[in-house]
Amino acid sequence: MIKTSDFDRTGAFALSYAFQGQPERPVTLNCYRAAGYAPGKEVVFVQHGMMRNGDDYRDFWIEAADRHDLLIVAPSFPDAHYPEAPAYNDGMVRAADGAATSPESWIYHVPARLVAELTDAGLMAEGKARIYGHSAGGQFLHRMVALVGYGPFQSVIAANAGWYSLPDLEAPFPAGLGGLGLTEADLRRLLESDLWILGGEKDCESNADNLPTNPEALAQGAGRLQRAHNYMAAGRAAAERLGCDFNWRFTEVPGVAHDGCAMGKAAAGLWFDGALPSEEALGVGTGTVNA
């Protein structure tokens, strides 16, 4: 349980956090509190990539935090407790034998649980949470919205995901959303949510490092950018079939490849300045890769 004293400091720090759904598997909260932050200002949650480097992902947001008086909370799911993609990207939704696990144990609940505890502790105000994830973190977030909902977040940005769980109740999870007891009402909720997909213009290579190459992923496109477009098209088609609104958004970030820092700056610009930063601010042309 989060305590007020845990956040009674400014700058960068880390805390151990116990999620009730996985009590034997601690999560590390990598945090940064800007000097100007106070409850009532914005809180940004950040989901790391496959490197489980929540400290780096927190640090990517320090410039924006200082500029906009933010609190940054980057939950880290260490390999020691959450090994491989099924235990992080896929939320621990399926057991080793493929059977669905108890929904209460899914780690997709962690971000919303953190918001509730921070709010209860008086450390943030209601309605002030946003969440961004890159790469494996983008996989985590779009599946979070699909399976447990948008929750308390003003905005959810999933950037440069390696592949997607398509809005299909027949295809088994994680390729689709089948086998978990979801209904058409759940699918409508997903499609009508304000899920925001970001794709780096240069994150389109079929031989990119750590790009998923399972057959279901390859069927979605050659690279991450193509797979993002495919996901948007699948969502639009599903909404037309169900006769519901389709509220997802897509933004392509010029010049950027698989760079969690640059994509974080893009997200911050879109959220707090209403526009993408300049290519110079994004570091376009540096060839940086942050998984």
Residue 182 DSSP one-character state: -
* CB-CB neighbours of 227 under 10 Å: 25
Q: What domains can be seen in the chain, in order of their start residue?
A: 4-282 (3.40.50.1820)
Q: Give residue 284's pLDDT.
A: 83
Q: Give residue 265's pLDDT.
A: 97
On the CB side of 21, CA atoms within 13 Å amount to 19
Q: Give residue 238's pLDDT.
A: 98
Taking only the tens place, the pLDDT of each residue in 206-219 is: 999 999 999 999 99
Q: Give residue 283's pLDDT.
A: 86
What are the two backbone dihedrals, phi and then psi, of residue 174, each rounded to the nearest 5 degrees? Answer: -95, 0
Q: Is the pTM of this model over 0.85?
A: yes
Strands 129-134 and 71-76: unpaired
How big is the chain, counted in residues? 291
Q: Give residue 97's pLDDT.
A: 93
**For 43-173, where are the alpha helices, taking DSSP H only?**
54-60, 62-68, 84-87, 110-120, 136-148
Residue 67 backbone class (left: φ over 0; alpha: ψ -120 to 50; beta: rest): alpha
What are the two backbone dihedrals, phi and then psi, of residue 188, each rounded to the nearest 5 degrees? Answer: -60, -40
Q: Give residue 118's pLDDT.
A: 98
Which of the residues in the chain have pLDDT under 70?
Answer: 285-290
Q: Give residue 288's pLDDT.
A: 66
